[in-house]
Amino acid sequence: MSGERAGTGEETGAGQQENEEKPVITEESVKESVSEAVSIEKAEEMEVDVDYSQAFQGIKGCAAVYVPEDNSSYFYNKEVCTEQASPYSTFKIISALMGLHNGVIADETSAMEYNGTQYYNSAWNKDLSLREAFQTSCIWYFRQVIDAVGSAEVKKELEELRYGNCDITEWEGGDVNPLPELNGFWLDSSLRISPWEQVQVLARIFEGGSSYTKEETQILRSIMQNDAENGLTLYGKTGTGPDGEGWFVGFVQNGEQNKYFAVYLNDSGNPETANGKKAKEIAEIIMRE
């Protein structure tokens, strides 16, 4: 409708419209606009290769860091950062969020019932709250959460997050562990994600780029918190595979600024050292630099 009125006005009141000031386009203003566009483009594409070899101490792996404030990304062994691998226990970040979003769990105190099995980790041998399950990386707890959310909803939310290959076809998982409640598609099975994709997913969740509510992400942030030192607060989750694979993914908060990271180790020749604990140690070093 507004377009029709504008056309009528031009036909009947041309003299009035001719008196309106029109913007003056000069060569200088064009150059300024082009310069601004180039600056924005450079900011969007800012990538830096960094050398974190001292932190890795000879262990094979990679690191990816993303800073939303200036849209910059930093890579150590970039090629490895783009290769997909099993997320292992880092997927508990997503499991917790899906559980909160779908009402399976209400908050960090929400408990799941222990079934009486004597697990290899004695911390799992009782009813656990979300916070306890996350801190002890309890597989059976998050297996219950994911089963309650259901495969259709899990698939939908993974696709919305663009979480790696979004493949949950092996819903029950393989045989990484001897008991069915300790296996799943996220444990050396069908679901795979690259370190860089891990970073992007975290940024979508905590920078308002997903459908999750502020309350849900605040609860997730709370259970992910590791420590605070010199104004720098670290949030994250480890993951460990059976053959020299280790993850630590998360973000650091310094004031109002978040920096997202993923450290991934893949060193089959060094399985006793290349694990989630070591990945966390490396992340702490590089994120405090």
C-beta of residue 244 within 8 angstroms of C-beta of residue 274: yes
User: Is the pLDDT confidence value at 24 over 80?
Assistant: no
User: Is the pLDDT confidence value at 21 over 50?
Assistant: no
Find where tokens 């970039």 sit: 78
pLDDT band (50, 70, 90) for residue 45: low
Q: What's the token pair of residue 186?
A: 């996220």
User: Is the pLDDT confidence value at 16 over 50?
Assistant: no
CA–CA separation, 276 and 238 (whole Å): 5
Q: How far is CA 210 from each of CA 128, 147, 203, 216, 217, rounded to the nearest angstrom? A: 28, 22, 9, 11, 10
SS3 146: helix
Average pLDDT for residues 175-186, to the nearest whole number? 96
Average pLDDT for residues 82-98, to the nearest whole number? 99
- Which segment of 24-33, 45-54, 137-146 scores lowest on mean pLDDT? 24-33
pLDDT at residue 54, as a whole number? 97
Complete DSSP assignment for 48-93: EE---HHHHTT--EEEEEEETTTTEEEEESHHHHTS-B--GGGGHH
CA angle (53, 63, 255) in 5-degree steps: 110
pLDDT at residue 256, as a whole number? 83
CA–CA separation, 269 and 218 (whole Å): 39
pLDDT at residue 254, as a whole number? 83
C-beta of residue 56 within 8 angstroms of C-beta of residue 282: yes
pLDDT at residue 46, as a whole number? 94
User: Is the pLDDT confidence value at 105 over 80?
Assistant: yes
pLDDT at residue 232, as a whole number? 79
Average pLDDT for residues 132-157, to the nearest whole number? 99
Q: Over the chain, what is the mean pLDDT?
A: 88
User: Is the pLDDT confidence value at 36 over 70?
Assistant: no
pLDDT at residue 62, as a whole number? 99
pLDDT at residue 20, as a whole number? 43
Residues ≥6 apart with Cβ < 8 Å to 195: 62, 63, 64, 80, 81, 82, 249, 262, 263, 264
Closest to 245 (Cα-Cα) out of 186, 188, 183: 188
pLDDT band (50, 70, 90) for residue 12: very low
Which domains, from first to last, does the chain contain? 1-45 (no CATH), 48-287 (3.40.710.10)
Average pLDDT for residues 43-62, to the nearest whole number? 92
| Phi then psi dihedrals of residue 131, to 5 deg | -60, -45
β pairing state of 232-240 and 225-229: antiparallel
User: Is the pLDDT confidence value at 28 over 70?
Assistant: no
- The total number of residues shown for the chain amounts to 289
- Which segment of 35-49, 52-66, 219-233 scores lowest on mean pLDDT? 35-49
pLDDT digits (tens, 9 = 90+) for 225-261: 998 777 778 999 999 999 999 999 999 998 888 999 9
